[in-house]
Each structure stands twice: as C-alpha cells, then as structure tokens.
C-alpha cells in the first residue's frame, strides 16, 4: 500500500523509513514482492516495534493471526529466539507455501508452526496459553479476535493488532462506516473498555495497538 494512504504525515513517514538500517536480503525481497503484488505486510517500521515488544515481553509462544507471506512471522520468530514457537496462520495455501520457503531462507523454519485455514478456527484448535497474540486478519473480524484471544494470553502478555486507525476511517460518522471500519471501531472500544487490558494505540503507519494483559 502507498505510504501516503496512511495516517502519518507523508514527509514524516518518509523520514522514518529513511532512518532504517538495511534489512537482510530475504526481508528486502519480501518487501519488494509485497509492493509489487499489493500483498499486505506490516512493513519495517512497525516490524521493529513488533520485534522490540516480543523481546521485552520475553515471549516464547506467539500466535499470529493473518500472516500472508510470513514477513511479520520472521520478525516474530527472530525476536523470540531459539526454543520459541510461533504459529503462522493464513487461509491461502499458496501464501503458506511461499512463507515456508521464506522461513527456510531466513533460518527460522524450525520455530514456526504453519497452520492453513481460518485464523480464528486455528486459534480454537491450538491448545495452550500464549505470551503474545498478534492480530492482522480481516478487519470486520477484529471484535471476534478480541473475545477469543484475550482469555488465551498470559498475565503480562500482549495482544497486538495492526491497522487500528484504518486510514483515518475510524473518524467517519457511524452511518457511513463500512463493515471493516465498524469492526476496527468496535475492537478499539473493546480494548479500551476491558478491565483485563492496558491498551495503547501508536499512531504509526496505519495505527498499531499494544495491549498488556493485566
């Protein structure tokens, strides 16, 4: 997606990207492919936030909901380190095939479980409690993710979500909001009204939610 579609001032956005150190060849190729094919990825600015949060939380068990070609999955797996388990989910088998190849090349295949199908169903089928759940599925499904994910996160763990400012559409009057926008608006209401979470929305790229489980 074009950076100018996001909520940050375009000049500021460009400045932030210009400051980034080079990524390794695997990530650079994935970024180029995503731009060429309009594949949704979080991009390197948000990826560095994701990486740092996983490190700070000392997360070892991570469930990612909506992984596409596995760009953010690689950042998660590298941050979590050896001995971790990161669950990749995507409904497209071709995405999963490309992701598996990317994981091999990035040297993190051994710590990633690839699940193909509906991310919410995969969460239901995967046992255990997670240190981090990262949500990047269809936006109308975000409220369902909230209800399913929060009980599955340990105390002190994190619920993370991308696109929570949704190109600024969250400011539209309710009567003109589409289903995706309504999903994001409801998700944001839920995280800020939940007694189980301490939420914060970072106004970077398209908005990134960081919620600590209390």
Give the DSSP per-residue string, 143-163.
Answer: HHHHHHHGGGEEEEEEEEEE-
How far is the C-alpha of 111 from the C-alpha of 128, rounded, in Å?
16
Residue-level pLDDT at 3: 38
The set of long-range contacts for 31-34, using a CB threshold of 8 Å and a minimum separation of 24, is: 31/71, 33/69, 34/68, 34/69, 34/71
C-alpha torsion angle, residues 161, 70, 154, 210 (rounded to 10):
-20
- Whether the per-residue pLDDT at 1 is higher than 90: the answer is no
CA distance 175 to 194: 25
Q: Print burial letters for 99-114: b (CB count within 10 Å at least 16), e (below 16).
A: beebbeebebeebbeb
User: pLDDT tier at 81 (50, 70, 90 boundaries)?
Assistant: very high
d(CA 53, CA 47): 10
Predicted TM-score of the model (pTM) = 0.95
> Averaged over 105-115, what is the pLDDT?
98
The rounded distance, in Å, linking the Cα atoms of 44 and 41 is 9
CA distances from 106 to 35, 44, 133 (A): 20, 15, 22
Of the chain, the percentage scoring pLDDT greater than 70 comes to 97
The whole-number average pLDDT for the span 96-102 is 98
Q: Which positions ≥6 away from 20 have C-beta within 8 Å?
A: 44, 45, 48
- pLDDT tens digit sequence for 163-172: 999 999 999 9
CA–CA dist 50, 202 (Å, integer): 12
Can you read off the two tokens belonging to residue 18?
A: 């210009």
Query: What number is the average pLDDT over the span 136-160?
Result: 98
Write out pLDDT tens, residues 7-49: 888 899 899 999 999 999 999 999 999 999 999 999 999 999 9
From the CB of residue 155, how many other CB atoms can be counted at a distance below 10 Å?
A: 9
Domains and CATH numbers, the chain: 3-17+25-213 (3.40.50.150)
Helix 179-193 to helix 142-149 angle (10° resolution) is 30
Angstrom distances, CA of residue 125 to CA of 59, 63, 75, 148, 175? 21, 12, 24, 12, 36
- Quick one: pLDDT band at residue 6, thresholds 50, 70, 90? low
């Amino acid at each position: 997606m074009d950076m100018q579609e996001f909520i940050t001032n375009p000049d500021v956005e460009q400045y932030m990207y210009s400051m980034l150190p080079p990524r390794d060849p695997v990530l650079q190729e994935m970024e180029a492919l995503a731009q060429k094919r309009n594949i949704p990825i979080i991009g390197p600015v948000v990826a560095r936030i994701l990486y740092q949060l996983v490190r700070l939380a000392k997360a070892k068990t991570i469930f990612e909901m909506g992984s596409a070609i596995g760009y953010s999955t690689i950042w998660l797996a590298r941050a979590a380190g050896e001995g971790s388990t990161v669950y990749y989910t995507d409904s497209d088998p071709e995405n999963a095939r490309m992701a598996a190849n990317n994981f091999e090349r990035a040297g993190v295949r051994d710590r990633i479980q690839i699940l193909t199908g509906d991310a919410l169903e995969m969460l239901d089928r995967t046992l255990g409690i997670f240190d981090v759940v990262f949500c990047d599925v269809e936006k109308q499904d975000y409220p369902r993710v909230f209800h399913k994910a929060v009980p599955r996160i340990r105390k002190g763990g994190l619920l993370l979500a991308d696109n929570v400012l949704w190109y600024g559409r969250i400011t539209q009057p309710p009567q003109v909001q589409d289903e995706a926008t309504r999903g994001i608006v409801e998700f944001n209401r839920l995280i800020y009204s939940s007694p189980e979470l301490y939420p914060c929305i970072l106004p970077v790229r398209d908005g990134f939610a960081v919620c600590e489980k209390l």
